[in-house]
Amino acid sequence: MAGRKTSILRRILVQTDCAFWCIHDHLDVLAYLGLPTLAALLAGALGLVASWRTWDFPPEVNVLIAGVACPFLALFIFTAMPLPCAVFAWKEAEGEPATAGECFAWCRRRAGRLAGVLIRLGLLWLVSLLCCGLPLLWVWPRTCLTPLVALFEDERRIFRRSRRILREDIGVTLIGSLYLGMGIVLGLLIVLPRIVLRFPVLGAHLLEGSWRTAVLEHLWIFETMSGAILLTAIAMSWWMSLTLVYHDIRWVREGEDLKRRIARLRARLAT
């Protein structure tokens, strides 16, 4: 059992490292692929901030927005928008470099399958969030591969196929924990200026009160922009890592590579 867990952890770390290097080597293409995610996050964040700064909602509405609406919107954006990056990672793993237009076109061709998956996932997320989010701890690791199955396979029973291909749920939990930890650490850096300015730390109290008030009043702009960029980068690298893990599972455990070699050999012999 220890060896199996070690192999899962090693696979995750290797594919995560490959995803980061893929982003580093193809930043020009991935910048275009990440634009829909960044635009959706900025639009959602600015809309929520503007609403909260303009109107005074009752406490019950604030709880509903913060506990259900915001997480649901974040889950949808985090799942749907970065999928062109998953297509790019798949093509790279196949040794077939792709352009941004080809990745978007691939997603458009699979839009019907993706829409059905996202609707079912949305219902699961909504029910889970209405139950304080606790069911997500069980639902999310078992359904996170469904968009990839919809993108790269023709299997009709997508959710059953997703559970079958990913028997090691611990693998998704580990990679999710890794990205969650990175997000928390980097998120703390975003709110660090507010903490420094609000409390007498590092000499910030020596600034004039009017300057500190003005900076604190407009600091939300920096936090919103930085948070959207950070979440976009995490979402892109998450889906690329998950795609590479999914590709590795299919090629190694299910023998996809061997099947293709046999098919090529049969085609060569037939000619």
pLDDT of amino acid 208: 57
pLDDT of amino acid 5: 44
Does any domain span residue 17?
A: yes
- Report the C-alpha gap between 265 and 268 in whole angstroms: 5
What domain range includes position 74? Answer: 2-112+168-270
Question: How far is CA 73 from each of CA 56, 76, 185, 188, 248, rounded to the nearest angstrom?
Answer: 21, 5, 22, 22, 30
What tokens were used for 4?
Answer: 């199996």
- Report the C-alpha gap between 154 and 112 in whole angstroms: 12
pLDDT of amino acid 183: 86
- Report the C-alpha gap between 121 and 137 in whole angstroms: 14
pLDDT of amino acid 236: 92
- Report the C-alpha gap between 229 and 41 in whole angstroms: 9
Measured from the Cβ of residue 69, the count of other Cβ atoms closer than 10 Å reads: 14
Does any domain span residue 57?
A: yes
Does any domain span residue 138?
A: no
Does any domain span residue 129?
A: no
Residue 187 per-residue DSSP state: H
Which runs of E-coded beta strand occur in the chain?
Answer: none
Does any domain span residue 133?
A: no
User: Alpha helix locations (H) across 81-168?
Assistant: 83-93, 100-109, 111-130, 136-143, 146-152, 158-165
- Report the C-alpha gap between 255 and 42 in whole angstroms: 42
pLDDT of amino acid 21: 83
The count of structural domains within the chain is: 1
Asked if 260 and 106 count as a contact pair (C-beta separation under 8 A), the reply is no
User: Three-state secondary structure along 63-74?
Assistant: HHHHHHHHHHHH
Does any domain span residue 162?
A: no
pLDDT in tens, the chain (271 residues): 444 444 666 777 777 788 888 888 888 899 999 999 999 999 988 888 888 778 888 888 888 888 888 889 989 999 999 999 999 999 988 888 889 999 999 999 999 999 999 999 999 999 998 888 888 878 887 788 899 989 988 888 888 888 777 665 566 777 778 888 888 888 888 888 887 777 765 555 555 566 667 777 778 888 889 989 999 999 999 999 888 888 887 776 656 655 565 666 566 667 6
Tokens 């927005």 sit on residue = 65
Q: Model-level pTM?
A: 0.82
Does any domain span residue 135?
A: no
Does any domain span residue 92?
A: yes
